[in-house]
Amino acid sequence: MDAAQAAQAAAQAEALIQGLYGVIFVARGEVAAAALYVWDYCLTFGMEVDLVWSSRWNIIKVLFLVQRYLPFIDTCILTIYRDLQPGRTGHGCTVIEQATGFLYVAGYTIAEALLTMRVWAVWNRSKALAFLLPLAFCIVWAPAFVVMYEFQLSLRFAPTPIPGVPGCFVIAASDVLKWAWVSLIVWNAFTLFLMLIPGMRHYRAQLQSTILYSVVYRDGTFYFVYLFALSIINIVLSVTVTPTKRFFISSLERCLHSMLASRVILHMRDHARRPPEWDTAHSSGGPVEFATPRADTALVSIRSQIEPTRTYRMSGFR
């Protein structure tokens, strides 16, 4: 064997080692993401029972429950099954990847639709936004399904070089998936901007804030910051690392997206069901004096959008 052949063999061996390391690396990240989701679910299960299960059936409750339980299917079952099952064929990996990929996008879309209703409520159920928000939502999120379809077509798998090693050995994957993360960033930035407009009006009018208002804007801001950071990391990974390592935090962002969306709704319902006099007394030390009737109706709109029964009570959760 001459020097050129030796160098080529060494390069192939190094690529094989890095590929196997990537498979194990991603599998560990996905198991950690599933464990984090189950842990957070256990922490918030009591709030879900108290604040959601006992409420009337409506579109918000349906969207909440669907996006809440989808990660158990796409991450905790399908993804972990793919990562821990040895001897998987390329066809088997393709089928599981297609299922998880489209469930991921569906989960993102449903959760964002749920939180978009929060924006509409903050704007007093504006008739203009009732038309513009669904239109903008379709413009931003419809391409995400197309991107996922193109990405699935680009995936190529090979049998694991070492028998008994679990997971799927990715040998080719397009970087087109970065546009799905861009869609998430664009929509979150757009909805945050819409949330901040009435918030700035409220601030400039020097209106005293209720706890519910604080929860709405605080959770919305943190939600955007966390997902923006994770989406940027996913974009960087999708264009810089090898295919086997490209999806290291994809499952983490998927789970965090559902966790944060669930917590936003649960926190809003928790505070919306408290007596209004308790809400104002504990937020500013006295009654709220709104400068305009619009500010008051905005709070009523948020409450009625979250909990249509309008039966406010102390829930015991903070």
Q: Residues 124-175: pLDDT tens digits?
A: 888 899 999 999 999 999 999 999 889 888 888 877 767 777 777 777 788 8
Strands 169-172 and 156-158: antiparallel
pTM of the model: 0.78
Return the amino acid letter for 16. L
Handedness of CA 31, 68, 316, 303 (dihedral sign): positive
> How far, in Å, CA of 301 to CA of 190, rounded?
21
Q: What Å distances lie between residue 194 and 47, 159, 188, 197, 262, CA to CA?
A: 28, 48, 10, 6, 20
**Is residue 289, in this structure, part of any structural domain at all?**
no
Is 292 part of a structural domain of the chain?
no
- Find the mean pLDDT for residues 10-19: 60
Task: Tell me the average pLDDT across 205-234.
Answer: 73
In a domain, 35, yes or no: yes
Average pLDDT, the chain: 77
Residue 288 inside a domain? The answer is no
Report whether 307 contacts 55 (CB < 8 A).
Answer: yes
* Cα 237 from Cα 246, distance rounded (Å): 5
Q: Which of 166, 267, 185, 261 is nearest to 228 (CA)?
A: 185
CATH number, domain at 223?
1.20.1070
Stretch among 192-201, 205-214, 264-273 having the lowest mean pLDDT: 205-214
Radius of gyration of the chain (CA): 23
Question: Residue 267 — very low, low, confident or very high, per pLDDT cuts 50/70/90?
Answer: confident
Could you give the residue ranges of the DSSP H alpha helices within 163-275? 178-204, 211-240, 250-272
The better pLDDT of the pair 259, 285 is held by 259
Window from 30-34, 74-78, 243-247 with minimum mean pLDDT: 243-247
Element (H, E) at 33: helix 3-48
- Residue 281 domain flag: no
> Which DSSP symbol is given to 210?
P
Residue 152 counted as domain residue? yes
In a domain, residue 34? The reply is yes
User: How many structural domains does the chain have?
Assistant: 1
Q: What's the average model confidence in pLDDT over 34-48?
A: 95
For residue 68, give its domain range. Answer: 14-273
Q: What pLDDT is attached to residue 9?
A: 58
Question: Is 209 domain-assigned?
Answer: yes
